[in-house]
Amino acid sequence: MYRYHHPTPIVIKLTDELGFQLRQKAAEYVAANQNRTGAERGSSEEQGFGALAEMVVRNKLGMPEINPENHPLGYDILLPSGVKLDVKCRGGALAFKEEYESSDGIMREAKHNFFARQIHDEELDTEIYLMTHLETPSNRELPGTTRQRKWIVYICGWVSKERVVREGVYLPRGSLTEQGRTWFTYRGQEVEFYNRNLNGLEKIEDLLSIERTDIEKDKHHQGDLNLTSVDAVRIVYDLIGRGVLSEKHLAFVQKETGLAKIVKPILHSNQYFHLLNWLKGKGVLTDSEIKKAQQILQEEPYSGI
């Protein structure tokens, strides 16, 4: 039976001889078996990351690194208990952290992403997902070279498919998301699920202890927010302005998240002051109200390149 651990990532460096061999195998496997169906399954590069993460896990569990040709497409690994596990992996130049620093000094909690179409495809009958992250060099093409030092897999934790469907936040194409100090829009249909809500592992072999009773328990578990604490406060700000929530709800969310600092808006503060000055020019705003805004927002004048 599985015993819960905080989802602190297990770090596996793929820069030694074995790591390079696994990178080569993943590159060869994807070149021969790239999925080109209409479903959103990631680019060939992303499929390579997923294949590599799966091979790393299978190697650590003492299993053959590649499934036989007749293996079902719905999952990657069949655990000793009969539980079906699918390995999910996204890659990037940054190391995986449980929290990322932003320009306002407030940490942003880490999240994982699923392609929504895969989550809701009943033919993909995995029961749990193992969430991983691959840190890559600037040239992300597998297998890379033996000299590259930034091929690192982070094994983050597992979660039942049913809980991802129930608790994950679906975001359509074009939705805005924040990553540390940057913003970007999603090109695909995504489901966000936060790292803090995963079931962590003390060692990769803990996967072998997962039984069906553990999955049933996880299906009914109520996790924490699948939002950053900052976004939770932003949403409350917005809904107070729309007359839906009140200051008591803001106080509750701030207490639950432990976030006492003032959260910066999504738009730049200069845009806020432009509106405030426009309202003042129309005679519906006073200097005292602008001074009140200056206590929580800071204009940023042009200072040259």
pLDDT tens-place string over residues 161-214: 999 999 999 999 999 998 778 888 999 999 999 999 999 999 999 999 999 999
| Single pTM value for the model | 0.90
Residue 87, pLDDT score = 97
Q: Which residues contact 219 (CB under 8 A, 6 or more apart)?
A: 160, 162, 163
Separation CA 46–CA 91 (nearest Å):
7
Confidence of residue 155 (pLDDT cuts 50, 70, 90): very high
Separation CA 160–CA 238 (nearest Å):
32
Mean pLDDT (the chain, rounded): 93
Residue 57 contacts residue 204 (beta carbons within 8 Å): yes
First to last CA, the chain: 59
DSSP-derived letter for residue 182 is: E
Separation CA 226–CA 193 (nearest Å):
6
* pLDDT of 40 strictly over 70: no
Cis before residue 143, ω within 30 degrees of 0?
yes
* pLDDT of 39 strictly over 50: no
Phi then psi for 157, rounded to 5 degrees? 155, 180
* Mean pLDDT to the nearest integer, 213-233: 96
Confidence of residue 41 (pLDDT cuts 50, 70, 90): low
* Mean pLDDT to the nearest integer, 120-124: 91
Largest CA distance in the chain: 74
* pLDDT of 244 strictly over 90: yes
**Alpha-carbon distances, residue 106 vs 38, 206, 248, 259, 263 (angstroms):** 40, 33, 22, 9, 8
* pLDDT of 42 strictly over 70: no
Confidence of residue 35 (pLDDT cuts 50, 70, 90): low
Residue 65, pLDDT score = 93
**Alpha-carbon distances, residue 11 vs 150, 200, 262 (angstroms):** 12, 13, 34
Residue 303, pLDDT score = 87
Q: Which of 172, 196, 171 is nearest to 108 (CA)?
A: 196
How many residues are given for the chain? Answer: 305
pLDDT tens-place string over residues 254-287: 999 999 898 988 889 999 999 999 999 999 999 9
Helices and strands per DSSP (H, E), number in the chain: 9, 12
Separation CA 121–CA 47 (nearest Å):
18
Residue 213 parent element (H or E): helix 212-219
